[in-house]
Structures are given as structure tokens and as C-alpha cells.
Structure 1
Amino acid sequence: MPDAYVLAGTLISDGYAAADSVVAVADGRIAYSGPRSGFNAAGFRGAEELDLPPGSSIFPGLVDLHCHGAAGGGFPTGDSRLCRDAAGFLHRSGTTTLLASLVTASAEDLIRGIGVLRPLADEGLIAGIHSEGPFLSRARCGAQNPQWLRNPDPALLRRLLHAAGGTLKSMTYAPELPGAGELVSMLTGNGVIPSLGHTDADARTTAGSLADAAESLRAGTAVTASAGSPTAGSGASLGTPPGRRPTVTHLFNGMPPLHHRSPGAAAACLRLAAEGTVAVELIGDGVHLDPETVRMVFGLVGADNIILVTDSMAATGLPDGDYELGRSAVVVHGGVATLKGSGALAGGTATLLEVVRRTIEAGVAPADAVKAATLIPAGILGLETEIGSLRPGLRADILAVDREFGLVAVLRGGQPLVRPT
């Protein structure tokens, strides 16, 4: 059987783990996923069995919704070759689906960056573009260049949407800025997920904006459903995430700390996540958040409402040294990326598999950590019928890891990118 593969180990998918399982791949799709006892090996005679180490686990390819680059390539740079190198490195590292994230910049640089990334999306190397800004709070800009921060500008957003041609999938915004309500309406009306972040808003403003965004997305989903879109539906079936909804860009980072007399955005985001109205990003790399904070959020809102992300930048996969995030100078020391001068955190240097592993080390169940890096972000993108799970019929994006969650094998679209050694 050409392009057919069989893997055996503990299956982790859809929030469940099952030992002594088999996953079989044929023609780029998952043909079987379940207990070894139910696998008809005769039907896969001639398939290549990927020999995994004892104690290995198999789970879906990872989905990163917030990623600025890797392997020396930054997605905001506008260099096509470096962007392609970064995407290839991330695929081989287990992140088989990703949004390429831009940073706040001039209108010309943003449009140039979109122009470079759009062909990558058209080719399927990335799932689309995430724009982190430019409509963000100066008080909570973090590593975003304050020179280019601005209030929501419908004319600029229209230019960005036109340049993207449907590939802009998510935009981070601050809800307290004048015109934020119109911005959210324009985003949802164009199929773009609003992601609240880099904000100094109070709890009430945060909750109101996210509730409006959620309602707009629900209305859009209802219209799409009547047209028969494969992303339509309530998401109530087994193994299907709650679906498209607003997100929160790296919860706790880029917003006021939670205080019992001034709860701020973080409190509202936690409450709405617990209700299932939004999904919150967590950079569980051991740098952006204390492991106990990661464990607390999983305990409070549940894996169904969490998206593990990397916020990775060009230094990911490379040694300490000098790098750039957009046009800003960054120094990486001990794996921690900071802006030269201010010392602000300037993205991450961990892959998403490393984030999953550190989340598990924080005390989160492996099935929950994997779910937050696969099924839930797939649902946010509206791709839960294609990726994010090991259900038969889905695209064969598959990872195999050893007992310590070290990478053993990667398949993307049924093609091995990394084989067991």
C-alpha cells in the first residue's frame, strides 16, 4: 500500500487516552484509530509500520494560533525564504498547523508582511495570518512598538483585509480604545476572530466587548450553517470542540495583574472562559507564566476553553544571541527573549510540543494538555472536521512521542516529516 503507515502506542485525542491502540494512515487520511484488538491488519498489508519506542504516545498534530517565527525566520520580517524556513521547522517540530503572527508596525510593513504570508497560506504551509495589533493599548504594549500603535481605524482595517484576501484569521485588539466596537463588528463580519489582548481595560469593558464579539460570531455561524458550511453546527457531537468564539491573547501577559479590588481584564476573561464564551491563550513555556498559574487556569476553566500557544519568535530552535521581533532588537539569554533596553518579554523560544510537555510537568493531565493544543484551536479556526483529532477521515497530521514527550515521529498530511530513529 503506497503512502500507508501504521503506528501503535497510547492514543491521546479528544481529551481521552487509550493504551494499546493503533492509528493507520492511507492516502493522507486517518483510516483507523482505536484499540489494537479492533484493527484489521490484513486490510493494511504492505503498509509501513513506524516502529515506536516502548511507552510511546500518539496524538494529533499540534495547532499554534500565536507564532511569530522560528529557526532564524520571523514572520513579520517580510522575507519569504525565511518565513518558509520557519514554517518548515515548525512542521518538523510537531506544529503541523499554525497561524503566522505579525506584530504592530507601520501600515506599509503590515501590508508587505501580509503580502509575503498570503502565498504561504494559499499553499497550505500556514493556516492563515494572526495580526497582533496595531490597535493595542500603549499602557500594555509589551514588546509591541509604541510608535505604530493607534486607535481602531476602519480604513486601515479594510486595507489589511483586502491585502489578506481571506487569509487574515485573527486580530488582537484592546477593547477600551475608541472605535473598538466597530472594529469587532468589522472583524467578525469578515470571518476574523477578535482576540482581546495588550489591554488596560477594566473587567466591565472587557466582558462587554467579548460578549459582543461572541454574539457576532454566533450570528455569523448561524448564517454560515444555513449555507451548508462544513464548519457549521453546535459542536455538540463527541470529539468536537465548542467551535468558533473570541479568544484572549496570552492571558495575564499584556494586561493588568488580577487584584481583588481591581480585577481588570483577567478576571472577566477567566469568568467568560469558564462559561465557554471565549477561549484563553496560555503561553505555558515556564517563562511567561508560572507553572502553578497554568495548572490553576486548567482547573478553573477546563481544557475545553484553553489554547496553548508559543508566541515563538525567530530564536526558537536556535542558541542564545541577538535577534529581531519585527524591527525591534531582541536578546535571548537562557532561552528567554527580551527587548534590548526595556527588558520586556519579546515572545517565546519554545516549540508547542515543549509547551505541552511543560504544561504536563505543571500537573495538567496529558489528555487535557494535548486537547488544548489540538482540538480546541482547530475548532477556533473552524477546522475541526479536518484537523485536531485522530478520528477516521481526518487529515493524517500525527505526532508520536516517547515516555518523556520527546519527539519521535511527525506525519503531516500523511507524509512522514520525522521518522523514528
Structure 2
Amino acid sequence: MTMQIAGRIVTPDGVVEDGHVTIDGALISSVGAGSPDGAERAAWVLPGFVDIHNHGGGGHTFTTGDPDSARAAAAFHLRHGTTTVLASLVSSPFALMRDATAAFLPLVREGVLGGVHYEGPYLSGARCGAQNPDFLRAPDTDELAALIALGEGAVRMMTIAPELPGALDAIKLLASHGVAAAVGHTDAPYDVTRAAAEAGATVATHLFNGMRPVHHREPGPVLALLDSPGVICEVVADGVHLHDGTLSFVAGAARGGYALVTDAMAAAGMPDGAYELGGLSVVVADRVARLAANGSIAGSTLTMDAALRQAVGAGIPVVDASRATSWTPARAVGLSGILGAITPGLRADLVLLSEDLQVTGVVRAGVFQ
């Protein structure tokens, strides 16, 4: 089946004004100028959003390993333009990580999920944020190798604090299997963070958040990650995790590029109230999720379309913000040869937007959702 969608088409090279995308089956076949008769129209046509850090939404969670809940959470974010989402676990016992990986593997094969992200449990107790401290532990390469083997390619990323004993060996193991090693929830000094990048770490988990802050005599992880050309920096663009000025700074300073992520939890799209994350009680008020025990930020209620609008509102051009919601995160987790851009031969994942960047339609693998 062939169809065409017309509007301002955002490609890796810029914007095709009054252009169109031709879709043949599940793939993009061409991008050209003009608006053919019968084409579906939108003000903006962007690549489908790729969210590489997401714990749930719409009242559903990825963190328990329940496949029905995962399917529902992915469907919620799909309605907001996220055509590829990683199911992010939080720090958990090995048994839960193992069972969740096995449960999510069929969803990855089906295309409901883009893969699995382990945010922990190899994290710093001093910078654990909303991670359950009862489940934190030192890196175990045997445990990690077993999870990677079980995932059969579904494990796409793992967040690690590089100062922990054995962390650099774990990062090297991840890199050797094509799994993105992300630096996060860390109290590491500058030189240890640079060593992690040299060992193969390629992502910074929600930069600034869950990290030792910058100091002029000990720059810490933030500046080391920003200055590493091989590291893509995640940023949570919700106006809560980062000031818009910080977001704009990262957009200009990250040598390896930056990716917008949601870090969403089950409360995304839901009313304020009481929720749970990794066994910890969370209270959401005025869209902000915090641990009931100490007020630490506990994920977000963000969706990727809202993140795009926040970035544009912070002064980032639409083309650059689009790259940060699609191509760059796809590249971060090894999917850029399959999806993440409006380019012939890639999967036809598109989000249609109004002039004010509200979602008006979503296409995944050539099918309107």
C-alpha cells in the first residue's frame, strides 16, 4: 500500500517547505517537493519520536515487568507521537530484571517496544534520587552477561555509576555486546567519568539530575560528559528537571549531541495523586512527581510532544529539537539504521503536528495509529 503525507517535512538536512513523503508499505520510499492531490496534510511532518528513557504512562508502568501494563504504557505514549520507546526498569532484584526482560522480549519482537533500558541497580547510593536504595549493588558482570544473553538483542541500554567497583569492566562488557552504557546516578569525579567514556560509555542519563553538581575546582561528571564527543546527553525537557536556560546551554554545548527524553512514570497523562515507582511511594502535584518520603523528583509526567514544545519554547529551532527527539536517540541505542529520520529506506514512523506543535496524527511502520 502506498500513501503520501504533505506539509513542512523535517528531514536530516532541514525542512522541505510544502513537501511530501511517499510511504510504500512499512518504509519511506521518497521525499519530494509539492503537495500531491489526495495526500494527507499537516502543518509539520516530523520523524516519530524515539524515547530511550521511559518508565510508563497513562496509569501503566514498565517497572514491574508486566507485559500487559507495558503494552498499555507504550500505547499511551504512541498517541503522543512516540513511535519507539524503551521500557526503562528501575533498580530491582536480579529476579525481577530477568523476568521483565523475558516478558518484554515478545513485545520487542512485535515492535511494541524498541528495547529494554536498565536504569540501575549499579548506581551511587549518594546520588540514587528516586531509586530504591535497598536494591543498589556493585556491578556484577556475570549477572549482566546473563541478562544480555536472555534479551537476545532486546537489551539496548544500561545506566551505571562509573565510580563503583567493577563499573568500567561492566561498561566494556556492555559496549562489546552493542548495548549503550549510560553514565548516571553518579558521584564520580571528572577523571573517572572521562575514564568511563574511554571504556565505552556513550550516553549520559538525564544530565545534571542524579549527578554530582558542577564545581569550578572539581567539574564532576556533567562537564566530562558534555565534553566527550562520543557521549549523547539525555535531557528531561519538562521545565522541572532543568531550567530552560540549562536546556538551551546543553543544546549548544554537548559535543556528542543531546537527546530529549521523558523519564516518564505511570502518572504521565493522569490526575495528580499517589503513585508508586520501584516500590517507593510517589506523590504527583501540579504535574510534578516527587518521593513521598523526602521530596526528591521521581521521574516525570512528561510526553515527548510536550518535550518538543518545551525545547522550541526555550529557543531551540524545530529542526534541532526534532533531531533530539528522533535521530539522535535512535543513534544512541543503535536504531538509526532502521528508524529515526524521514529518509528513504527507513521505517515510516511519522508524527503529524499542527502549527503550534500539537499532535494531529501518528504513523508507525506505514500505518496510521
TM-score band by shorter chain is: over 0.9
Asked whether the 8 Å contact 2:206–2:234 carries over to 1, the reply is: yes
Aligned with 2:355 (options 403, 406, 412): 403
TM-score by length of 1: 0.85
TM-score by length of 2: 0.96
Unaligned runs of 5+ in 2: none
Question: Going by fraction, where is helix more abundant, 1 or 2?
Answer: 1
RMSD of aligned residue pairs (Cα, Å): 1.5
Is 2:2 the counterpart of 1:4? yes
**Which of structures 1 and 2 has the bigger CA Rg?**
1
Aligned to 2:15: 17
User: Counterparts of 1:90-169 in structure 2 under 5 Å?
Assistant: 90-169=77-156
Asked whether the 8 Å contact 1:15–1:370 carries over to 2, the reply is: no
Aligned counterparts of 2:150 and 2:25: Cα–Cα separation in 1: 34
Aligned with 1:384 (options 336, 343, 354): 336
User: Counterparts of 1:230-249 in structure 2 under 5 Å?
Assistant: 246-249=202-205
Aligned with 1:76 (options 58, 63, 83): 63
Aligned to 1:222: none
SS in structure 2 at match of 1:329: strand
Provide Cα deviations, 1:95-114, integer angstroms capped at 9, x if missing partner: 00111100001111221222
Aligned with 2:173 (options 161, 186, 206): 186
| Alpha-carbon shift at residue 385 of structure 1 (Å) | 2.5
Asked whether the 8 Å contact 1:13–1:370 carries over to 2, the reply is: no
Unaligned runs of 5+ in 1: 215-245
Aligned to 1:263: 219
Aligned counterparts of 2:142 and 2:231: Cα–Cα separation in 1: 27
| Alpha-carbon shift at residue 13 of structure 1 (Å) | 2.1
Aligned to 1:358: 310
SS in structure 2 at match of 1:324: strand
Asked whether the 8 Å contact 1:75–1:117 carries over to 2, the reply is: no
Aligned with 1:279 (options 210, 214, 232): 232
Asked whether the 8 Å contact 2:5–2:21 carries over to 1, the reply is: yes
Residue range with higher mean Cα deviation, 317-326 or 287-296: 317-326
Aligned counterparts of 1:131 and 1:68: Cα–Cα separation in 2: 10
Aligned to 1:226: none
Asked whether the 8 Å contact 1:248–1:269 carries over to 2, the reply is: yes
Aligned with 1:344 (options 272, 296, 299): 296
Asked whether the 8 Å contact 1:257–1:266 carries over to 2, the reply is: yes
Percent identity between matched residues is 40
Provide Cα deviations, 1:91-144, integer angstroms capped at 9, x if missing partner: 221000111100001111221222221221121111110000110000000000
Asked whether the 8 Å contact 2:179–2:333 carries over to 1, the reply is: no
Aligned to 1:253: 209
Aligned counterparts of 1:166 and 1:389: Cα–Cα separation in 2: 22
Asked whether the 8 Å contact 1:15–1:371 carries over to 2, the reply is: no
User: Counterparts of 1:208-247 in structure 2 under 5 Å?
Assistant: 208-213=195-200, 246-247=202-203
Which aligned runs of 4 or more in structure 1 are off by greater than 4 angstroms? none
Assess, with a 3 A threshold, how the Cα gap between structure 1 residues 15 and 290 changes in structure 2: closer, same or farther: farther
Provide Cα deviations, 1:242-297, integer angstroms capped at 9, x if missing partner: xxxx101000001011111221111111111xxx2211101111111001100011
